[in-house]
Structure formats: structure tokens, C-alpha cells
Amino acid sequence: MIETYKMLNELYDERVASGLSDVFRATVVAKVTYGAPAWSSMCTAADRDKLNTFINRCKRIGFCDKELLPSITELFGEADDILFNRTLYS
């Protein structure tokens, strides 16, 4: 995660902010939500707070759109819903 954060920071410094939100979703959000159905239930409240703090910091810096990216709890819920629907209808 730290490497991705540093890469995004370099892109932001180079003023490539137009596609920065897409890169953020493709790297950071994808990494967080990939295994979320398996491990999100084991996250403590402190773990979720740390992830929300990281997401909020990225929003504040400008790595992603503030309105479009939900909280970590909502991201975990979406990942659970997707897994449930795939299991139900396959």
C-alpha cells in the first residue's frame, strides 16, 4: 500500500491529476476490496478506522473524488453483496 501511495503522490506532483482518480480506484480500492469478503469480518473497529483514515487522507490530498468514493464499511458491504449475488445466481 505504501508503494502505491508514494506512486500516486509522485503522479500528483507531476500534475497528472486528470486520471489520478482512475489510477486510485484501480490500485488502492481494488487491493482493499479484492479479498474483503474473506477478511472484512475479522477487522476490528480500530482496523476499519485506520482504513477510513487512509481513504479520507487520500480524498483530502486529491487522489480520488470526494463524492464518489464511499467509506470502507460501504466498500466492504458492496463486496459482500457482489460475492453473495455471484454465489446465489451461479
For residue range 32-80, what is the model confidence (pLDDT) as tens digits? 888 888 888 899 999 999 999 999 998 888 888 778 888 899 999 999 9
Reference 23, options 48, 5, 50; nearest CA is: 5
Biggest CA pair distance of the chain: 45
d(CA 11, CA 48): 27
As to burial, measured by CB atoms within 10 angstroms (0-12 exposed, 13-18 middle, 19+ buried), residue 58 is buried
Q: How many structural domains are present in the chain?
A: 1
Domain containing 69 equals 45-90
Indicate whether 10 belongs to any domain. Answer: no
Classify residue 81: in a domain, yes or no: yes
The reply to whether 27 falls in a domain is: no
pLDDT tens-place string over residues 6-35: 766 776 655 555 677 888 888 888 988 888
- Any domain includes 62: yes
State pTM to two decimals.
0.72
Q: How many CB atoms lie within 10 A of CB 75?
A: 19
Domain presence at residue 33: no
